[in-house]
Structure 1
């Protein structure tokens, strides 16, 4: 029996999945659950019946929602039973679904916003063929968000296996990597940093993909140690548009066939509305959507660029604009620093006081004085955090990123 999903000690086969969908006469348009198999099954029943779906985080607080009737959550609605002769027929039905799929932004910079997608915008980056068969995907994302959905569709449309490692501890992830035969991983840089330090290597992993946050050379070097046989890709995707760019390293390139779909204004990346889902919250400049992502050109003539920061993450320190990711990059160069997060704390005089939290590798010792001495000469004075705190762990967003 081909395996669809491994979730802790539970294993679900594709034949079981097909049987359950064939015998489903109802689904939940607004479904909230922490059970990954139930979530995927409900999603597929909705898609093959061309029914609307609203994807809700398992821990979503109802006060965060706007424009949604909470009384409709987990209420079943009937669908016409459809029988599929094979898994290939099921996959084709999903690929041609007419469903409207509503997902929410992460809400890290305000109230979560609804974005409506079609199966075409959600699966733009999916690749299918014999070369993609037999893959085993580590599932390291929240399933209700864009990155998790894209991993799901990539695996499902090729009848691959998913292994749930989302929100697992370092020891649990290492154990699964060792036992489950995972060949492909897609996760945030934060996820990979949590696997530090390198204690053993995993040679079965063939491809590693990073997305959702800025990464750095130190992290790439670590990933190469941990997964010595893997190709490393960096992906740019958003809730609004899905996956758009892929790169090896930090330099992205605008595809030639999409060159007219992107603009840059005052260092901000703009995306043509034809590449987006639909939402009343989108703000356009003409026909282009302002992403809030600030970039710098590496080679403008070839469309090669790198991301600098998020526009809304710049911190006002006494009239100066500080990019927290620039400071984090320098902090991560310090030997022994496993992870760093920089943020502003409101201050009546300066606007904000710059703060940093650091996690140090086990067995390493660093002091605040050593950190400050390292930063002197590498950063302007106003970019050096005034408050430095050593922590054991960080708060994460629902999408697995570090919460500022």
Structure 2
């Protein structure tokens, strides 16, 4: 039977999963580090049409807004559907009537609850013979939208998942080589942590980036590491699930849902019919403010690129600075693996621009050298006044850079 999941030294087949699904209990609120138990509980809930709350393994009681902590990790009896084959499991899953509750990542405050159906969670899943025999690197937190998108795409085609989330650079490359991984979906931060280029891995035939703004320099470097891979970019959110994909930096709104979007003051607004359900949503008529600022490339054809998150713009002496723009220029400097740009309060300017920079191993760069390079590409007010070198960055639960 096909391997379902490789997680560290443990390997589980789809037969193992089928046996797990036939056990007569489930956890409505499961908090665990054990990926097989988590996925088994998820599939069991969906195939038996019962509700489920997805909890991060490190959620604190203070973050469990509206959740009864005493019910966490408490199993309840369940008269499970006896499904003799994985084909029948998948069919039961895609027709599930379960409500799946998840939490936003909490990067801008208290995590908010959002309730989804299987239809919104699997909107982007593609099934068919050409999707058989794929081997996926699992590089996301499984309780958040991007992790669920990868899981459902792999699971509904009986593919193999290799857990690489929170692994080191050398461990990830070893797993890619050992398992001949063919597909990777991850944040730009994940791919930057794989730099610099040392050798190519030709087994990978498709890469997807999502969750953060990416840039042309990153595409060029990962093309060297994965020369056989087609590179796509995907837009998904906890509120809406997966909406559209891109090749390169430009996204295109599908014609079938073109009328479900508006752009007001450069902000992308999404029609309520594409969203899950949440008491925290605030609508402008029938539209939800995504907080994503975009720039039209071709308005008539619905082609655009992302500029930044609205709440990330930094006021520097009356100028609005997009930290992502500055990070793109920093990350393009040879020897810089990753950077983080942020504002620090200043009584005169409102904020001064600061940057933290992680260098590749063995590279030496001074603050003065970096500023000299930046002057060729950026206006003076966009050049950080303070640059600090760091060994690593803090990441959010979803594997993105944690902004200060």
1:302 match: secondary structure: coil
Tell me the TM-score normalised to structure 2 length: 0.98
The 5 A counterparts of 1:123-202 are 123-202=122-201
- Partners in 1 of 2:354 and 2:63 — Cα distance? 27
Residues 370-397 of structure 1, C-alpha deviation per residue, up to 9 Å, x if partnerless?
1111122422222111110111111100
SS at match of 2:177: helix
1:222 aligns with 2:221: yes
* Distance in 2 between residues matched to 1:322 and 1:287, nearest whole Å: 30
Measure, in 2, the Cα distance between the counterparts of 1:303 and 1:81: 45
Counterpart of 2:399 in structure 1 is 400
Distance 1:75 1:126 in 2: 31
Distance 1:341 1:25 in 2: 48
Alpha-carbon displacement from aligned partner over 1:59-112 (angstroms, at most 9, x marks no partner) = 111212211111111111221122112110011111111110001110001110
Structure 1: segments with no counterpart, 5+ residues: none
1:75-90 → structure 2 map (5 Å cutoff) = 75-90=74-89
Distance 2:111 2:35 in 1: 22
1:312 equivalenced with 2:277 (yes/no): no
Corresponding residue of 2:6? 6
1:21 match: 21
Report the counterpart of residue 254 of structure 2 in structure 1. 255
Cα offset, 1:289, TM superposition: 0.6
Does residue 389 of structure 1 match 2:388? yes
After TM superposition, the structure 1 stretch with the greater mean CA deviation from structure 2, 216-225 or 329-338, is 329-338
2:210 aligns with 211
Residue 65 of structure 1 contacts residue 111 of structure 1 at CA under 8 Å; is this kept in 2?
Answer: no
Deviation by residue 1:236-289 (Cα, 9 ceiling, x = unmatched)? 110111111111100011111111101100000001110000001111111011
SS at match of 1:301: coil
Correspondence 1:24-63 to 2 at 5 A:
24-63=23-62
Q: Hey, what's the Cα distance between the residues in 1 that align with 2:292 and 2:285?
A: 18
Q: Which residue of 2 aligns with 1:110?
A: 109
Q: Distance in 1 between matches of 2:330 and 2:9?
A: 39
CA displacement 1:324-378 (0-9 Å, x = unmatched): 0011111122121111110112333333221101111122211000111112242
Partners in 1 of 2:204 and 2:29 — Cα distance? 35
In 1, the alpha carbon distance for the partners of 2:229 and 2:384 equals: 36
Offset from partner CA, 1:300-340 (integer Å, 9 cap, x none): 11111000000011112233221100111111221211111
Aligned-residue CA RMSD (Å): 1.0
Aligned counterparts of 1:78 and 1:318: Cα–Cα separation in 2:
61
Aligned equivalents of 1:19, 1:108: Cα separation in 2: 38
Q: Is the partner of 2:368 in helix, strand or coil?
A: helix
Taking the TM superposition and a 5 Å limit, the aligned residue runs for 1:297-376 are: 297-376=296-375
Is the partner of 2:146 in helix, strand or coil? helix
Alignment coverage as a number of residue pairs: 403
**1:61-76 superposed matches below 5 A:** 61-76=60-75
- Give unpaired runs (5+ residues) of structure 2: none
Q: Which residue of 1 aligns with 2:242?
A: 243
State the partner residue of 2:99.
100
Question: How far did 1:48 drift?
Answer: 1.2
In 2, Cα distance between equivalents of 1:385 and 1:113: 33
2 CA distance for matches of 1:73 and 1:355? 41
Distance 1:34 1:373 in 2: 46
Contact 1:354–1:387 (8 Å) recurs in 2 = yes
Cα contact 1:316–1:351 (8 A) shared by 2? yes
Single out whichever of 288-297 and 347-356 deviates more from structure 2. Answer: 347-356
Aligned-pair CA distance for 1:182: 0.7
Distance 2:376 2:151 in 1: 46
